[in-house]
Copies of this chain bind each other. A is one copy, B any other.
């Protein structure tokens, strides 16, 4: 008796410190996630891809979930509606992945690399949006569980492709 009416969640991962172009891209991606009717999930902090994507989804009247590394819900991006405070530090990255129906990895550093690894390990559909995690993902990519994209439009096309597979 699975819960079939739960809302579908797209997780957007990426660096806490990013250049302006990446931030712009993340904002557009967040907007597109909301416009497509999905809930946006990020790492919740008021920084980098997390903040930018949340802003985009918020401006498009989407619902935004933030999974914080720390213990205090108030320490979240101002564009997050629902704050989940974990106090697990980087351990919260696994929750980001498990709670998302599809994961999109934007440019980032070692934290984003761990999220990519966890998505592969837990067989979550993964979109790599201008992020290269090296050769470890090649097997999963050849099995159709990883799609590379270079724009938010391509990323959302990949999301839709994955979601059709999930529903069927």
Partner of A87, one of B4, B39, B76, B98: B98
Interface pair A71/B98, CB less than 8 Å apart: yes
**For residue A109, which residue of chain B has the nearest CB?**
B136
A118 smallest CB distance to B (angstroms) = 6
- A80 at the B interface (CB under 8 A): yes
- A33 at the B interface (CB under 8 A): no
Bound CA span A149–B71, Å: 27
Bound CA span A6–B75, Å: 11
A133 smallest CB distance to B (angstroms) = 5
Interface pair A78/B110, CB less than 8 Å apart: no
The A contact surface, by secondary structure, is mixed
**For residue A70, which residue of chain B has the nearest CB?**
B98
- A167 at the B interface (CB under 8 A): no
A111-B122 contact in complex given A89-B87, A95-B86, A134-B136, C-beta closer than 8 Å = no
Interface pair A136/B121, CB less than 8 Å apart: no
- A65 at the B interface (CB under 8 A): yes
- A25 at the B interface (CB under 8 A): no
Task: List the B side residues contacting A85 at CB < 8 Å.
Answer: 95, 98-99
Interface pair B122/A114, CB less than 8 Å apart: no
A151 smallest CB distance to B (angstroms) = 21
Interface pair A3/B76, CB less than 8 Å apart: yes
Task: List the B side residues contacting A135 at CB < 8 Å.
Answer: 132, 134
The interface bits of chain A over 79-118 (1 if a CB of B lies within 8 angstroms of the residue's CB, else 0) are: 0111111111111001100110100000001111110111
Interface pair A89/B71, CB less than 8 Å apart: yes
Task: List the B side residues contacting A76 at CB < 8 Å.
Answer: 3, 6
